[in-house]
Amino acid sequence: MAAIRKRSSILTLITICLLILLSSGGFFTMYLTHTIKTDAEVINKLGIIRGSIQRLVKYELVGIESNELIEEIDSKINEFKGNKIRIYDKKGEIHYALGDLCQTWTLLKESIDDLRGSPSSQNKQVLLERSEEVWTKSNTMVLTSQGVTERKVDRFQTSFIFFGINLVLGILIIFLIKRYVKDTLEYLVNYDGLTKLYNRRYFNEYLGREISVVERYAKDLSMIMFDIDHFKKVNDTYGHDIGDSVLKELSNLVQNHIRQSDMLARIGGEEFVVVAPETDGDCALLLSEKIRKIVEEHDFMHVGKITISLGVTQFTQGDCSDSIYKRADTALYKAKKNGRNRSEMETSQVLN
């Protein structure tokens, strides 16, 4: 159960991290989509400014004054300066280019005023030179905006790779959660909730499998059934909570003194069973006495000393799960009848 809890904590942590990654990846993709959409508007507006300036200079050189066009260019530049068109540029490249464009545009307007006041060839030449500078600055700003957008597109493609990785991790998490749920359900079905030992259902299943192995390979198999002597008195004297504590303490004590290959299960209130593969009756009786003495000598928290009675039997040819179980139960009954705190062995098949 501790392993399941630990796995649950790890899965919860991983799931939370994955959700954070998916959320951040989703928000990042939305952010890039929004900014790329805005960048398209920026590039379009800059292209209009660049074309409008070229058209304005042509008009002015042939003597056509176009104040409306100047106002239109001023309005579009002011949209950038007033942040009415949002520029998403962390490095400030576009803003820097915008500053250069504003300076050259101001100088160009001064050249236009000079040309209108004195349409000399010298003023025309200055206008042409400054118009070339403005066009270069506006074109630089367009190219800078395009470069910023292209880098965002590259990051946008990277976000899809990131999303794909998260998707794979998500599938893995679903698989692990499914496995965790399966393990948890198996635990709840196969284990006793109080003592954490195997329960009656698993015992029956396990015993059936072991009998099949014994019949196939002609191996030994023994069973030890035991329960606590006068356990009702423990519950009546100390209460059921203390009784439960005794059951858990007894389970841990016995579990720690049997082989790893032996199976210990709780099959009733205070009734337990040990299935010992590859163990004949004589060895099982020795193991039974070992368990009995360990329990007898142990000081249990809250209640002090308790004893157990044990019934031992060995698999014989023709046995089934029911017959060997009943024989172990008969041996346990004999141990109770003969004074408790003892082990009895039943070797012949007794069916009630």
Q: Give the 3-state secondary structure of residue 300.
A: strand
Residue 21 near residue 159 (C-beta atoms within 8 A) = no
Q: Can you tell me the distance from the alpha carbon of 265 to that of 1, in angstroms, rounded to the nearest whole number? A: 16
Phi first, then psi, for residue 170 (nearest 5°) are -65, -45
Is-contact 328 224, C-beta < 8 A? yes
Q: Which of 270, 289, 296, 297 is catalytic?
A: 270
Query: 114, 132, 109, 129: which is closest to 50 by C-alpha?
Result: 132
Active site residue 270: yes
Give residue for tokens 């597109």: 153
Task: Quote the distance between the C-alpha of residue 195 and its chain's center.
Answer: 29
- Round to whole Å and give the CA distance between 327 and 103: 105
Place of tokens 């209640």: 303
What is the Cα Rg of the chain in Å? 44
Q: Could you give the angle at the alpha carbon of 142 between the alpha carbons of 32 and 97, nearest 5°?
A: 95
Listed in sequence order, the DSSP H helices in the chain are 2-61, 67-81, 93-117, 121-190, 200-217, 231-238, 240-255, 281-297, 321-337
- The helix (H) or strand (E) run that includes residue 222 is strand 221-228
Question: Which residues, 6 or more positions from 47, have their beta carbon under 8 angstroms from its beta carbon?
Answer: 142
Active site residues: 270
